[in-house]
């Protein structure tokens, strides 16, 4: 592997990893509030189709992203209402959200007299700098060669980390995720905190979906995101609920994705390996990384929120 | 009216509160003055906690009037109550154990800005602690603190918000006698500053010592009140229980046999990988009760786990009736004759969702007559279960309904019935009467004493010193996972045990 292949791989890893960064950060924020939302896949798909539709009709990328965020966030309210207000099992409610979102995005892509399916996007995200800084060897493309959403994803990671650990709301949110009864008796509104952060998770998933339909594969097709929603949920564990680790976990996965694409095109001996086996590589890597990083003694330092997945009843005796 | 509002912080008139049709508060009247320590005295289940929870905004009353500083008030949430100046220290602390002390103080505090600074928070927490004699390291995470320290954090939390009414729900239950004395000083200091303190307790000598006035609750209603100075402990006790009462104690004339349970240099790890039991040696003879005391979190839990096989010791040995059981599994140890009454009845002791009969068969089910190979004999569960329910006076059992609907006392009787019916050689019981009313306490104590009379080696692990001294033949004090002292029960006093529990060396006493 020569230098340019390495840089290409890293560059692609950042691109492929970016939607995972958004999705993982969103789920970290939701889970830190004690709510496990397995609807990430559904929220991403709804964001993908909504963002694509908005840009298709307005030719505005900004509007596309905003609509994707709003759509993902509103869609997540279904899960919030079911799991926080009605106290349905979070697992059941999240899975329902994924099933519903998958169907809804396919339906919206094919509905109407002029269906979206097969249509190319009217605008796509492009690198913001041509030449200049982006031409510096190695660090040029890796740092300056991306589209705007990559930079926004970095800002999101920094903002999420600051929010979680340095602000009053972040403290309330972590407390609600660890011990809702204690948080409530300290005057924190548990339901409101959970609603807000489920919706923030939904909004970030929405951007993640839009990144697929407006940047990575800017033609509408059914389920353009692959299994990204599920990967994001796994990456939360790999990142042990910490934003900066999520960035690296997402890029690690992006790199694995890129490597398997590259292997498929490298000819002998790789062409003898069925492509479906190579396509499994990133997932196998994710599983191995998860086992190695989270097993045994390390599990104690993982930092899973103690109340994750538990509905909260105040007058329970 | 102005005078009235000036002296009364809280007034409850004819308060009712029911849970699922059961009245927890029934026509309760209560007045709290400014600048007093007011004891709320009553049995478990008398409605003290419910009353306090209404005041703290956790529950809302079904009926009755609640005046705060002279004005009719409803606290919809704990947040409302806190904002008005009413805060509570619950028996089960409301601290987020993964956060630091300072973060717990800051949590939900309305006056903090958006950004929070750890170092400023810690400085404030330290100053407040010094001022009120509540020292605690503000940068420590709550799970690293002892129970006594966690309680200080709870009180600091309220002082940090400048609470005017502080409710302390059985605060001394988790403290050594010396720590309790320090707490009483802090309580007096708070009262002198014009704050009102509600001190919930069922220990008469503490009420007598620290409070200005006392209100007694029984079965959900107020049965009386008095200035503490005028109240005779005997009268208070009768008001509280409704009858004269003598709890069972051990019969000192019974013979004690030879060593049954022998533990040598036992070491067991804690949850976080640190050693929790650090080389403990003792033996319990047949027909003897050995009481283990210590402030909670000094290795009692891990010691019990190591003995019954829930956690395999890292080194040392356990012998039962001369046989080495150190590395046996839980099931094998049950077969050898271990019985275990864990601290949490519904968490570890019983399966909450199964019926009482099924729970009673839960240890014997592997063998005939309960099962025949893979098949369970449902009839035997019903028959034996029914028999024991009568024999052990387990009340409230309804056919087909889960055991979790029983009261604490009946749960404990069911649990003990199952363990005792195994005809164990050694019975390990942790805080068996914790949270039970007097009647149930009496029944449970009698069951434990009956085992002793049958020649079982009983290891009683408890934080209730009065109970330990009433039931044990010998007492052993655990401090930081090691034996801090041991003595015959006749030579032990709460004060002497308290010093050992706090880590003082025997010579220094």
Q: In this structure, are B236 and B286 located in the same domain?
A: no
Distances (CA, A) of A56 to A32, A108, A121: 35, 13, 6
Size of chain A, expressed as the number of residues it contains: 317
Q: In this structure, are B341 and B484 located in the same domain?
A: yes
Q: How far is B44 from chain A (nearest CA, A)?
A: 14
Is B141 strand, coil or helix?
strand
- Quick one: which of B427, B292, B20 has its CA closest to A317? B20
Single out the residue in B184, B214, B241 at which a domain terminates: B241
Question: Among A166, A169, A179, whose Cβ lies nearest the Cβ of B96?
Answer: A179
- Quick one: which of A59, A81, A27 has its CA closest to A207? A27
**Residue of A32, A167, A168, A185 best to disrupt the B interface, most CBs of B under 10 A:** A185
Cis geometry, peptide bond prior to residue B369 (ω within 30 degrees of 0) = yes
Question: For chain B, what is the domain count?
Answer: 2
- Quick one: which of A204, A176, A179, A208 has its CA closest to A190? A176
**Which residues, including other chains, have CB under 8 Å from residue B355's CB and lie 6 or more apart?**
B385, B399, B400, B401, B402, B403
Q: Which residue has the tokens 């970290």?
A: A28
Helix axis angle, A61-80 to A190-211, nearest 10°: 140
Q: In this structure, are B235 and B266 located in the same domain?
A: no
What is the rounded CA–CA span in Å between residue A232 and residue A177? Answer: 19
Among chain A residues, the shortest Cα distance to B161 is held by A186
Q: What is the DSSP string of B279-316?
A: EEEEEEETT-EEEEE-STTSSHHHHHHHHHTSS--SEE
Size of chain B, expressed as the number of residues it contains: 509
* Spans of chain B, pLDDT less than 50: 1-5, 508-509
What is the rounded CA–CA span in Å between residue B175 and residue B170? Answer: 10
Among chain A residues, the shortest Cα distance to B99 is held by A175
Single out the residue in B241, B269, B300 at which a domain terminates: B241
Give residues 109 to 168 of A whose Cβ lies within 8 Å of B: 166-168
> In degrees rounded to 5, what are phi and psi of residue B315?
-160, 175
Residue B107 is assigned to a structural domain of this protein? yes
Pairwise CB contact (< 8 Å): B107 & A186: yes
Pairwise CB contact (< 8 Å): A179 & B95: yes
Pairwise CB contact (< 8 Å): B115 & A167: yes
Look up residue B504 and give its two tokens: 């003082």
Is B466 strand, coil or helix?
helix
What is the rounded CA–CA span in Å between residue B439 and residue A217? Answer: 73
Look up residue A239 and give its two tokens: 């990142």
Chain-centre distance for alpha carbon B474: 22
Pairwise CB contact (< 8 Å): B59 & A184: no
Is A171 part of the contact surface with chain B (CB cutoff 8 Å)?
yes
Look up residue B487 and give its two tokens: 């003595």
The β-bridge partners of B315 are B267
Name chain A contacts of B113, Cβ cutoff 8 Å: 168
Look up residue A171 and give its two tokens: 């403290």
Question: Among A168, A183, A187, whose Cβ lies nearest the Cβ of B82?
Answer: A187
What is the rounded CA–CA span in Å between residue B274 and residue B285? Answer: 30
What is the rounded CA–CA span in Å between residue A114 and residue A133? Answer: 42
Pairwise CB contact (< 8 Å): A178 & B99: yes
Q: Which residue has the tokens 């033996």?
A: B283
Classify residue B118 by burial, with Cβ atoms within 10 Å: 0-12, 13-18, 19+: middle
What is the rounded CA–CA span in Å between residue B238 and residue B219? Answer: 13
pLDDT, tens digit, 9 for 90 and up, residues A194-223: 999 999 999 999 999 999 999 998 999 988
The β-bridge partners of B225 are B215
Among chain A residues, the shortest Cα distance to B118 is held by A166
**Which residues, including other chains, have CB under 8 Å from residue B291's CB and lie 6 or more apart?**
B460, B461, B462, B468, B469, B471, B472, B474, B475, B476, B489
Q: How far is A235 from chain B (nearest CA, A)?
A: 22
Name chain A contacts of B116, Cβ cutoff 8 Å: 166-168, 171
Question: Among A167, A188, A306, whose Cβ lies nearest the Cβ of B107?
Answer: A188
Among chain A residues, the shortest Cα distance to B102 is held by A171
Question: Among A166, A183, A297, whose Cβ lies nearest the Cβ of B107?
Answer: A183
Whole-number pLDDT of residue A7: 84
Pairwise CB contact (< 8 Å): A167 & B90: no
**Residue of B88, B107, B111 best to disrupt the A interface, most CBs of A under 10 A:** B107
Q: How far is B404 from chain A (nearest CA, A)?
A: 11
Residue B249 is assigned to a structural domain of this protein? no
Look up residue A49 and give its two tokens: 């189709």
What is the rounded CA–CA span in Å between residue A67 and residue A207? Answer: 9
- Quick one: which of A205, A213, A224 has its CA closest to A71? A205
Residue B254 is assigned to a structural domain of this protein? no
Name the DSSP class of B228. G
Name chain B contacts of A315, Cβ cutoff 8 Å: 19, 58-59
The β-bridge partners of B67 are B11, B72
What is the rounded CA–CA span in Å between residue B469 and residue B466? Answer: 5
Pairwise CB contact (< 8 Å): B90 & A175: no
ipTM comes to 0.80
**Which residues, including other chains, have CB under 8 Å from residue A114's CB and lie 6 or more apart?**
none
Pairwise CB contact (< 8 Å): B273 & A185: no
> In degrees rounded to 5, what are phi and psi of residue A113?
-75, -25
Q: In this structure, are B281 and B402 located in the same domain?
A: yes
Domain around B344: 259-508
Is A315 part of the contact surface with chain B (CB cutoff 8 Å)?
yes
What is the rounded CA–CA span in Å between residue A28 and residue A237? Answer: 9
What is the rounded CA–CA span in Å between residue B28 and residue B12? Answer: 7
Single out the residue in B211, B241, B271 at which a domain terminates: B241
Give, rounded to a whole angstrom, the gap between the first and last alpha carbons of chain A.
63
Is A78 part of the contact surface with chain B (CB cutoff 8 Å)?
no
Q: In this structure, are B312 and B342 located in the same domain?
A: yes
Q: At B412, which CATH number?
A: 3.40.50.300
Name chain B contacts of A192, Cβ cutoff 8 Å: none
What does the H/E/C string look like for A133-184? HHHCCCHHHHHHCCEHHHHHHHHHHHHHHHHHHHEHHHHHHHHHHHCHHHHH
Q: In this structure, are B66 and B158 located in the same domain?
A: yes
Tell me the residue ranges of DSSP E strands in chain A. none
With b meaning 16 or more CB within 10 Å and e meaning fewer, what string describes A127-138? eeeeeeebeeee
Name chain B contacts of A303, Cβ cutoff 8 Å: 98
Q: How far is A314 from chain B (nearest CA, A)?
A: 8
Q: How far is B21 from chain A (nearest CA, A)?
A: 13
Whole-number pLDDT of residue A3: 64
Taking chain A (317 residues) in runs of 10, the rounded mean pLDDT of each run is 75 94 97 96 97 94 96 97 94 96 94 84 85 73 86 96 93 93 88 96 97 93 91 91 93 90 80 83 82 67 79 65
Asked if A201 contacts A27 with a C-beta cutoff of 8 angstroms, the reply is yes
Question: Among A169, A174, A187, whose Cβ lies nearest the Cβ of B99?
Answer: A174
Among chain B residues, the shortest Cα distance to A174 is held by B99
Question: Among A167, A187, A306, whose Cβ lies nearest the Cβ of B78?
Answer: A187
Q: In this structure, are B216 and B86 located in the same domain?
A: yes
pLDDT, tens digit, 9 for 90 and up, residues B318-343: 999 999 999 999 999 999 999 999 98
What does the H/E/C string look like for A179-205? CHHHHHHCCCCHHHHHHHHHHHHHHHH
Handedness of CA A293, A295, A299, A305 (dihedral sign): positive
What does the H/E/C string look like for B406-460? CCHHHHHHHHHHHHHCCCCCEEEEECCCCCCCHHHHHHHHHHHHHHHHCCCEEEE
The β-bridge partners of B214 are B39, B226
Question: Among B94, B114, B273, whose Cβ lies nearest the Cβ of A186?
Answer: B94
Q: How far is A260 from chain B (nearest CA, A)?
A: 40
Residue B251 is assigned to a structural domain of this protein? no
Binding-site residues on chain B for chain A (CB distance < 8 A): 19, 56, 58-59, 77-79, 82-83, 88, 90, 93-99, 103-104, 106-110, 112-116, 157, 272-273
Pairwise CB contact (< 8 Å): A300 & B19: no
Q: In this structure, are B293 and B433 located in the same domain?
A: yes
Look up residue A215 and give its two tokens: 């940047």
Q: In this structure, are B176 and B320 located in the same domain?
A: no
Look up residue B132 and give its two tokens: 């009120």
Question: Among B78, B112, B115, whose Cβ lies nearest the Cβ of A185?
Answer: B78
Question: Among B58, B97, B110, whose Cβ lies nearest the Cβ of A179?
Answer: B97
Pairwise CB contact (< 8 Å): A185 & B56: yes
Cis geometry, peptide bond prior to residue A269 (ω within 30 degrees of 0) = yes
Pairwise CB contact (< 8 Å): A300 & B273: yes
Whole-number pLDDT of residue B154: 94
What is the rounded CA–CA span in Å between residue B489 and residue B473? Answer: 5
Question: Among A171, A184, A188, whose Cβ lies nearest the Cβ of B103?
Answer: A171
Is A297 part of the contact surface with chain B (CB cutoff 8 Å)?
yes
- Quick one: which of B232, B234, B239, B209 has its CA closest to B42? B239
What is the rounded CA–CA span in Å between residue B509 and residue B502? Answer: 12
Q: In this structure, are B288 and B219 located in the same domain?
A: no
Q: How far is B16 from chain A (nearest CA, A)?
A: 16
Is A75 strand, coil or helix?
helix
Q: Pinpoint the alpha helices (H) of B309-345.
A: 330-336
Asked if B62 contacts B26 with a C-beta cutoff of 8 angstroms, the reply is no
Name chain A contacts of B44, Cβ cutoff 8 Å: none
The β-bridge partners of B283 are B262
Q: In this structure, are B265 and B407 located in the same domain?
A: yes
> Alpha-carbon dihedral of residues B15, B17, B22, B23, nearest 10 degrees?
-10
Whole-number pLDDT of residue A313: 77
Look up residue B501 and give its two tokens: 């529990």
**What angle (nearest 5°) sits at the alpha carbon of residue A180, between those of residues A174 and A181?**
140
Question: Among B58, B108, B272, whose Cβ lies nearest the Cβ of A186?
Answer: B108
Q: How far is B58 from chain A (nearest CA, A)?
A: 8
Q: In this structure, are B484 and B402 located in the same domain?
A: yes
Segment holding B474, helix H or strand E: strand B474-479
Pairwise CB contact (< 8 Å): B108 & A188: yes
- Quick one: which of B179, B201, B202, B183 has its CA closest to B191? B183
The β-bridge partners of B355 are B402
Among chain A residues, the shortest Cα distance to B20 is held by A317
Is A223 part of the contact surface with chain B (CB cutoff 8 Å)?
no
């Amino acid at each position: 592997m020569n230098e340019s292949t390495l840089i290409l791989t890293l560059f692609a890893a950042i691109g492929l990893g970016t939607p995972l960064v958004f999705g993982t950060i969103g789920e970290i924020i939701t889970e830190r509030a004690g709510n496990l939302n397995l609807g990430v896949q559904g929220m991403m798909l709804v964001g993908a189709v909504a963002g694509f539709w908005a840009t298709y009709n307005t030719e505005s990328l900004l509007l596309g992203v905003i609509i994707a965020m709003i759509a993902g966030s509103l869609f997540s309210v279904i899960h919030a209402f079911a799991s926080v207000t009605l106290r349905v099992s979070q697992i059941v409610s999240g899975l329902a959200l994924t099933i519903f979102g998958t169907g809804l995005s396919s339906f919206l892509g094919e509905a109407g007299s002029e269906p979206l399916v097969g249509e190319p996007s009217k605008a796509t995200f492009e690198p913001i700098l041509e030449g200049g800084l982006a031409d510096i060897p190695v660090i040029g493309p890796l740092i300056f060669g991306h589209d705007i959403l990559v930079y926004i994803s970095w800002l999101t990671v920094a903002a999420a980390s600051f929010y979680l650990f340095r602000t009053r709301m972040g403290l309330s949110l972590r407390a609600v995720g660890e011990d809702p009864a204690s948080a409530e008796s300290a005057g924190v509104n548990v339901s409101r905190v959970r609603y807000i952060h489920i919706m923030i998770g939904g909004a970030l998933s929405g951007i993640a979906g839009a990144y697929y339909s407006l940047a990575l594969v800017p033609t509408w097709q059914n389920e353009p995101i692959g299994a990204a929603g599920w990967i994001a949920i796994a990456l939360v564990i790999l990142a042990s609920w910490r934003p900066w680790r999520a960035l690296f976990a997402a890029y690690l996965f992006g790199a694995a994705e890129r490597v398997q694409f590259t292997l498929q095109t490298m000819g002998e001996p790789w062409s003898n390996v069925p492509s479906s086996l190579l396509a499994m590589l990133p997932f196998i890597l994710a599983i191995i990384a998860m086992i190695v990083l989270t097993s045994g003694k390390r599990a104690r330092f993982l930092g899973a929120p103690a109340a994750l997945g538990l509905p909260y009843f105040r007058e329970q005796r | 009216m102005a005078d009235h509002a000036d002296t009364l912080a809280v007034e409850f008139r004819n308060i009712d509160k029911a849970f699922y049709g059961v009245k927890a508060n029934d026509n309760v009247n209560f007045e709290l003055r400014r600048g007093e320590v007011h004891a709320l005295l009553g049995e478990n289940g008398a409605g003290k906690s419910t009353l306090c929870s209404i005041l703290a905004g956790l529950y809302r009353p079904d009926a009755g009037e609640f005046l705060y500083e002279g004005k009719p008030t409803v606290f919809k949430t704990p947040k409302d109550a806190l904002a008005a100046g009413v805060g509570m220290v619950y028996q089960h602390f409301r601290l987020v154990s993964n956060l630091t002390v300072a973060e717990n103080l800051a949590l939900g505090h309305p006056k903090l800005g958006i950004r929070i600074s750890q170092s400023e928070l810690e400085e404030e927490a330290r100053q407040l602690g010094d001022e009120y004699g509540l020292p605690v390291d503000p940068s420590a995470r709550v799970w690293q603190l002892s129970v006594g320290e966690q309680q200080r954090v709870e009180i600091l939390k309220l002082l940090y918000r400048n609470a005017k009414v502080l409710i302390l729900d059985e605060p001394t239950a988790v403290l050594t006698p010396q720590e309790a004395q320090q707490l009483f000083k802090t309580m007096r200091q708070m009262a002198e500053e014009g704050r009102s303190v509600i001190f919930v307790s069922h220990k008469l000598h503490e009420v007598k010592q620290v409070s200005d006035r006392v209100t007694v609750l029984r079965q959900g209603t107020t049965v009386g009140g008095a200035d503490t100075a005028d109240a005779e402990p005997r009268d208070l006790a009768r008001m509280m229980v409704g009858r004269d009462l003598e709890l069972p104690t051990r019969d000192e004339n019974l013979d004690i046999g030879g060593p049954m349970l022998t533990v040598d240099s036992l070491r067991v790890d804690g949850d976080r990988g640190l050693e929790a039991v650090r080389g403990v040696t003792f033996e319990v003879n047949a027909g003897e009760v050995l009481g283990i005391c210590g402030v909670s979190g000094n290795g009692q839990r891990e010691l019990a786990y190591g003995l019954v096989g829930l956690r395999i010791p890292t080194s040392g040995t356990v012998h039962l009736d001369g046989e080495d059981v150190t590395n046996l599994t839980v099931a094998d140890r049950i077969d050898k004759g271990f019985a275990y009454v864990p601290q949490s009845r519904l968490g570890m002791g019983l399966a909450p969702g199964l019926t009482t009969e099924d729970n009673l068969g839960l240890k014997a089910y592997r063998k005939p007559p309960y099962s025949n190979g893979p098949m369970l004999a449902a009839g035997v569960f019903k028959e034996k279960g029914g028999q024991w329910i009568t024999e052990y006076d387990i009340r409230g059992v309804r056919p087909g309904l889960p055991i979790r609907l029983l009261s604490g006392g009946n749960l404990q009787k069911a649990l003990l019935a199952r363990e005792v019916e195994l005809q164990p050689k050694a019975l390990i019981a942790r805080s068996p009467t914790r949270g039970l009313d007097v009647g149930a306490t009496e029944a449970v104590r009698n069951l434990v004493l009956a085992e002793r009379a049958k020649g079982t080696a009983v290891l009683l692990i408890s934080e209730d010193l009065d109970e330990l001294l009433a039931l044990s033949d010998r007492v052993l004090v655990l401090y930081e996972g090691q034996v801090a002292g041991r003595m015959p029960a006749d030579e032990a006093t709460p004060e002497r045990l308290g010093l050992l529990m706090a880590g003082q060396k025997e010579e220094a006493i």
